[in-house]
Amino acid sequence: MNLLAFNLPIVVLLPFIAAAAAAYSAKFNRLAAAWVSGIATIISLALLIPAAAAVFGGETIIQSWNWLHQAGLQFAFRLDGLAMLFSFLILIIGLLVIIYARWYLAAKDSMGRFFAYLMMFMGSMLGIVMSENLIQLVVFWELTSITSFLLISYWQHRKDAREGARMALAITGAGGLALLGGVILLGHIVGSYQLSDVLASGDLIRNHELYLPTLILILLAVFTKSAQFPFHFWLPHAMAAPTPVSAYLHSATMVKAGIFLLARFFPALSGTDAWMWLVGGAGMATLLIGAYTALFKHDLKGLLAYSTISHLGLITLLFGFSSQFATVAAIFHIINHATFKASLFMVAGIIDHETGSRDMRKLNGLLKYMPHTAALAIIASLAMAGVPLLNGFLSKEMFFAEAVSFSQGNSFAWIIPVLVTIAGVFSVAYSLRFVHDVFFNGEPIDLPRTPHEPPRFMKIPVDLLVIVCLAVGILPMYTVAPILDIAVTASLQSTPPEYSLALWHGVNLPLIMSAIALGVGALVYFRRKPLIANYERHEHINAKQYFQKILAAVIRFSEWLSARFDKGSLQNAAAWTLFATLVISASGFISFNSPLLGDRTLLPMEPVSIIAAAVIIVASILTLAWHRQRLQSLIVIGVVGLITSLVFVKFSAPDLALTQLSVEVVTIVLLLLALYFLPQTTPKETGMSRLGRDALLAIASGIGVFLFTLMVLSRDFSSISEYFLANSVPGGGGTNVVNVILVDFRGFDTLGEIIVLALAGLGIYAMLQGLNINPHSRFRLNADAHPVILQTFSRLMLPLMLLVAVFIFLRGHNLPGGGFIAGLIASVALIVVYLSNGIEWTQSRLRVDMHMVIGFGLLIATTTGLAAMLVGYPFLTSAFSHIHWPVVGDFELASAIAFDLGVFLVVVGSSVISLVQLGQLSHKPENPEGV
C-alpha cells in the first residue's frame, strides 16, 4: 500500500477538520481562521496533485473501505478526470475566495464562524464530486444544502438573509429527498450503489421500467440545486449572503453540483427522448428567463445572479442535446463560467465594499476612481458576453455550433438557434450594462463612501482569474485542453469526439450568430430604458410570490389539520395515533384467512408466573386509580418495572434483567426530581365522553395486542437467534450472545443509539441551563436534606459500586454484563452520592466534566469502527485473540471492549449530566417573587 493510499478521503475530510480549527483559532486571533482555512485548502490541493499524473494517464483512482457491506454501503472515493476538474475548481477558487474574504469581512463580522461554514461547505462539495458510493454522495449532497443555508444566513440580523436561506434550504432540501429516491431506484435497477457499476449499466437502466421515475427524481435534484426552471427563483434571493459566499456558490460550488450530476450520470441516463425533452426543455427555459431578467436588475449581484441562472441553463441545454460534442461544450463552459463569474462577483464585492452601494443607478463613472478594478471588470464582463480572445467566446461558439447541428433534420428545431441567439443578445446587453453603467455613464450619485481602490491583496484573486480568462481565450490548446480532454472522457466513459479549440473556424453560421448577438445586444442595451420601464410594471409578478403563496397555503393547511387533530394536547394526539393503529390492525385481522390460533402447544402456567402476572395487573390498575396522586402512582409503576425484571430472570435473560433493573432506578430518580416542580396531584379531567373514549381505546388496544401476541406465539416460526447462537463465539469471540450482538453484529445500531443518548443528555443540559423555575408550593426542601447516615454510607459504598460496575463491564463479553449495564450501575452510584452529599460537595471532589466523558465515549466508539476500516474490514468489525499471561493464564483480548468502553462512558455521562442538572435546578434558592 503506497503512501497515497488514503489521500482522497483526507482531501475531502480535511476541510471539515479545518472548520473546527478555524472556529477555535478565531478565539485567539481574528485573522487566524483565515490562515487555518487557507493552509488546509493548500494541503488538500497538495494531496490531490500527486494523483493528477495518474488521472492524466487515463487511470481512475478508487479508494474504498467497507462500511455496511451487506447494505451496499461503502466509504468510497473516486478520482477521474471529471472529479479532478471539479475538485481543482472547488479548491483553487475556494483558496482565492478565502484570500478575498479575509479583506472583505468587516471587523464586526465573526471570522471564525464564517470560515468554519465555508470550510464545511468546501468539504461537502468535494465529497459530492469524489464519491464513488451513491448513498455517500447523497449524504454530502444534503450537507451542501445545510452548509449553504448557514452561509447564506451568515448575517443573521438581516431579514433578507434569513428568508433567502430558508428558501434555498426548502427547495434544495426537497431536491435532496428526490435524489435519495432516485439513487435507491438506481441501486435497485443495477444491483449496486457503486458509481462504477451504474456508469457501466446505461443500457440496463434506460431499458428498465423504472427508468422514467428514476430520471425524474434525479433531475428534480439537479434542477433544484442548479436553479433550473421552475426552481430558479431561490438563487437571486441567496444574494443576501456576503459577496465571497456568492462568488463561491455561483462559480465553482453549490449551483454547479447539479450540473456535475448531469455530467456524472450522462452515460447512464442520457440518449432518450425523455432526457432530451426534460433536460433540454428546462435548460432552454432557464437560459432565456435568466438572460432576459438579468438586464433589468439594478443591483450588481442581482444582475450577476440571473446571469448565473442563464449560463447554468446554457450548460443544461447542452447536456440536453445528448451528443458527445455537446458534452465537450458543456464541460468547457463550466470551466469558463467558473473563472469569469467568480471574478465578476468579487468585483461586485469590491465596489460594494469601497462605495457602500451596489445600485447601478448610483454607481456611475467609477473608472477614474477605480481604474484597476474597472479593467478587471471589463475583461471579465466581455468574457461573459462572449467577445473574441476571451474564454467565454470559445465555449459560446461551440454552444451555437451544437444548437445549429441539433436543429438540422428536424422540422421545427430551427427555432433552437433563434432562441439561443436571442439569449446571446441579452447576454451581451447585461454584460454591457455591468460595465457601462458602473464605470462610465457620468458621475457617481449620492454614494455612502467616496470610491477608491481596495487593498492590494483583495484584488489579487480577481487578477489571477482574469488572467485565466485571457490565457484560455488566447491559448486554449496549452491551458485548458489537457484537463478538458480527461474530464470529457470521464463524463462520456468513452473516447471524446474530435473537437477544435481554435480561435478561427472561418465564416460560418455560429460566427454569424455571435456577430448578431454582439451587435443586437449592444443596440438593446442602449435602447434599454423602455424595456426596463415595461419590466418594472410587471415586476410584482414573479416566482417568489407564487412560492410564498404556496408556502402560506401549506402552513394554513397544516394549522387547520393541527387544530382538528392536535389541539395542543398530548392525550389527543395519542388517542388519534391509537385509533389509526387500531383501524390498520383491524383491517389486518379481517383480511386474515387462516385460523386465529395456531396448533403450537403453549407453555403450561405455573403459580409463580400467575402471581407475577397478577401483581403486574394489580399494579397497573392501581396506577390508573391513583394517577392523580403522582408520588403513589410513581411508586406503584416502579413495581411493574421490578416484576418485569423478574420475568426476564425467569426466562433466562440476565442481561435484560440487569438492564431493566438499572434503568428502573435511574428513571425513578429522574421522575422524583421532576415531581419537585409539578403539582402534587394532577388536575381532574372533566367530561364523560373523553373518559369513555379513552376507556374504549385502552380496551380495544389491549384486546388487539393480546390477540396478535396469541396469534404469533401459537404458531411455529424461524427465529434469528439460532444464527447468533451459532456465530457468537466464532464470529464475535464471546459467549454472551446479547453483548456480542450489541457490540459486534448490531454495533452500528448501538453506535446510533449512544449518539441519540448523548444528544438527549446534552439537550437536557442545555434546556435546563440557566432556567429559573420555582417548585410547587406543596414541596419544600427539608432542612436535613442530606442526612449524615446517608452521606456516610454513600461515601463508603461508592468505591464498591464502581468496582461492581467495572466487574460487570469486564465480564460482559462472555458473561451477563457489558458497557451499557455497567454504565447504568456507575451512574446510579454517582447519582446516590450527589443526592446524599449535595451537588456542590460532590462536584468539588469529583472534578470530572461529563461533557468530556460523553465526547470521549463517542470518540472511542467511533474510532473503534474506523480502525477496522483502516485495515480493510467493514466498519465496526471486531477482532479477538487469546493470549497467555503469566499467573493469570489464558486471557481473551477483544477489540469490542473498546467499543463497549465508549458505550459505558456515554451512558455514564448522559445519565449523570441530565440528573445532576435537574437536581441542581431543584436546589436553587426559591424566588418569592416568582420571577
| pLDDT 10s digits, 723-769 | 888 888 888 888 888 888 888 888 888 888 999 999 988 888 888 77
Question: Rounded to an integer, what is the distance from CA 172 to the centroid of its chain?
Answer: 11
Residue 773 pLDDT > 70, yes or no? no
Is 671 in contact with 913 (CB distance < 8 Å)? no
Check whether residue 404 and residue 472 sit in a common domain. yes
Other Cβ atoms closer than 10 A to 260: 23
Whole-number pLDDT of residue 776: 57
* Closest alpha carbon to 814 in 916, 748, 900, 753: 900
Check pLDDT > 60 for residue 930: no
Query: Comparing C-alpha atoms, which of 374, 356, 352, 532 is closest to residue 446?
Result: 356
Domain count within the chain: 3
Residue 782 pLDDT class (50, 70, 90 cuts): low
* Residue 729 domain-assigned (yes or no): no
Identify the residue whose cell numbers are 449560463.
311
Alpha-helical regions (H) of 628-746: 630-650, 654-675, 688-713, 721-732, 737-740
Whether residues 634 and 757 fall in one domain:
no
Across all residues in the chain, what is the average pLDDT?
A: 87
State residue 927's pLDDT score: 46
Residue 29 lies in a domain: no
How far is the C-alpha of 631 from the C-alpha of 664, rounded, in Å?
A: 15
Higher pLDDT: 545 or 381? It is 381
| Residue percentage of the chain with pLDDT more than 70 | 94
What pLDDT, on the 0 to 100 scale, is given for residue 349? 93
Whether residue 7 lies inside any domain: the answer is no
Cell of 122: 468546501
Residue 931 pLDDT: 36
60 pLDDT exceeds 70? yes
**Confidence tier at 371 by pLDDT (50, 70, 90):** very high
Bridge partner list, 681: 629
**Distance, CA of 841 to CA of 805 (rounded, Å):** 23
The crossing angle, in degrees rounded to 10, of helices 415-439 and 371-385 is: 170
Per residue in 686-736, pLDDT tens? 677 777 888 889 889 888 888 888 888 888 877 788 888 888 888 888 888
Split at pLDDT 50, 70, 90, the class of 281 is very high
Q: Is residue 628 within 8 Å of residue 682, measured between CB atoms?
A: yes
Strands 73-79 and 61-68, by their bridges, are antiparallel
Residues 509 and 617 in one domain: no
- In a shared domain, residues 678 and 746: no
pLDDT at 685: 62
* CB-count exposure of residue 766 (10 Å: 0-12, 13-18, 19+): exposed
In the structure, what pLDDT confidence band is assigned to residue 1 with cuts at 50, 70 and 90?
Answer: very low
| pLDDT at residue 79 in the model | 94
Tell me the C-alpha distance between 521 and 392, whole Å.
16
Residues 521 and 637 in one domain: no
- Distance between terminal CA atoms of the chain? 66
Last residue of some domain: 506, 526, 546? 526
Confidence of residue 896 (pLDDT cuts 50, 70, 90): confident
Measured CA to CA in angstroms, residue 747 lies from 21, 315, 654, 738, 753 at distances of 30, 45, 20, 11, 10
Mean pLDDT computed over 31-51:
93
Look at residues 649, 684, 719 and tell me which one is the last residue of a structural domain. Answer: 684
pLDDT for the residue numbered 889: 62
| 606 within a domain of the structure (yes/no) | yes
Q: Does 903 score more than 50 pLDDT?
A: yes
Look-up of cell digits 465596489: 351
- List 883's β-bridge partners, or say none: 891
Same domain (yes/no): 611, 522: no
381 found inside a domain: yes
C-alpha distances (whole Å) from 456 to each of 58, 114, 453 are 40, 22, 8
The whole-angstrom distance between residue 391's C-alpha and the CA centroid of its chain comes to: 35
What is the C-alpha to C-alpha distance for residues 665 and 374, in angstroms, rounded to an integer?
Answer: 73
Q: Are residues 518 and 624 in the same domain?
A: no
Do 433 and 345 lie in one domain? The reply is: yes
Question: Do both 297 and 370 map to the same domain?
Answer: yes
Integer Rg of the chain from CA: 33
Least confident of 394-403, 447-456, 669-678: 669-678
Give residue 145's pLDDT. Answer: 94
> Does 418 score more than 50 pLDDT?
yes
- Check: CB of residue 122 under 8 Å from CB of residue 202: no
Query: Is pLDDT larger for residue 469 or for residue 648?
Result: 469
User: Nearest Cα to 310, choosing from 384, 362, 209, 412?
Assistant: 384
* In a shared domain, residues 782 and 928: yes
Cα gap 915→834, rounded to integer Å: 9
Q: Are 295 and 531 in contact (CB under 8 A)?
A: yes
Position 854 scores a pLDDT of 92
Q: What is the DSSP letter of 194?
A: B
* Domain contains 149: no
> Which residues are CB-contacts of 740 (< 8 A; sequence separation ≥ 6)?
724, 728, 731, 732, 733, 734, 813, 896
Do 890 and 763 sit in the same domain of this protein? Answer: yes
Residue 784 pLDDT > 90: no
Percent of the chain with pLDDT over 90: 44
Q: Give the C-alpha separation, 817 to 897, whole Å.
A: 12
Cell (9 digits) for 458: 483583495
Query: Cα(245)–Cα(109) distance, rounded to whole angstroms?
Result: 14
Residue 237 has pLDDT above 80, yes or no: yes
- Determine contact, residues 64/74, Cβ cutoff 8 Å: yes
In a domain, 514, yes or no: yes
d(C-alpha 915, C-alpha 896), whole Å = 29
- What pLDDT is recorded for position 742? 84
Which burial class, exposed, middle or buried, applies to 359 when counting CB atoms under 10 A from its CB (0-12, 13-18, 19+)?
Answer: middle
Q: At 316, is the pLDDT very low, low, confident or very high (cuts 50, 70, 90)?
A: very high
Select from 644, 665, 684 the last residue of a domain. 684
Do 336 and 395 meet the contact criterion of CB atoms below 8 Å apart?
yes
Strand-pair partners of 133: 194
User: Which tens digits make up the pLDDT trace of 559-572?
Assistant: 888 877 777 777 77
Q: Is residue 926 over pLDDT 50?
A: no
Side chain identity at 35, as an amino acid letter? W
Cα separation, 700 vs 579, whole angstroms: 9
- On whether residue 333 sits in a domain, the answer given is yes
Question: For residue 433, what is its C-alpha cell?
Answer: 450594462
User: Which pLDDT score is estimated for 928?
Assistant: 41
Lookup: cell for 559 = 394549522
Which has the minimum average pLDDT: 328-332, 522-526, 810-814? 810-814
pLDDT above 70 for 783: no
Task: Provide the grid cell at 286.
Answer: 432557464
CA-to-CA dists, residue 736 to 566, 729, 732, 818, 824, angstroms = 45, 9, 10, 9, 19
The C-alpha cell of 322 is what? Answer: 445528448
385: confidence class by pLDDT, cuts 50, 70, 90? very high
Q: Mark out the alpha helices in 733-787 (DSSP H runs).
A: 737-740, 747-768
- Encode pLDDT of 295-306 as tens digits: 999 899 999 999
CB-CB neighbours of 54 under 10 Å? 14
| In the predicted structure, residue 57 carries a pLDDT above the cut 50 | yes
Domain that holds residue 612: 602-684
Res. 450: pLDDT tops 50 = yes
Which pLDDT band holds residue 394 (cuts at 50, 70, 90)? very high
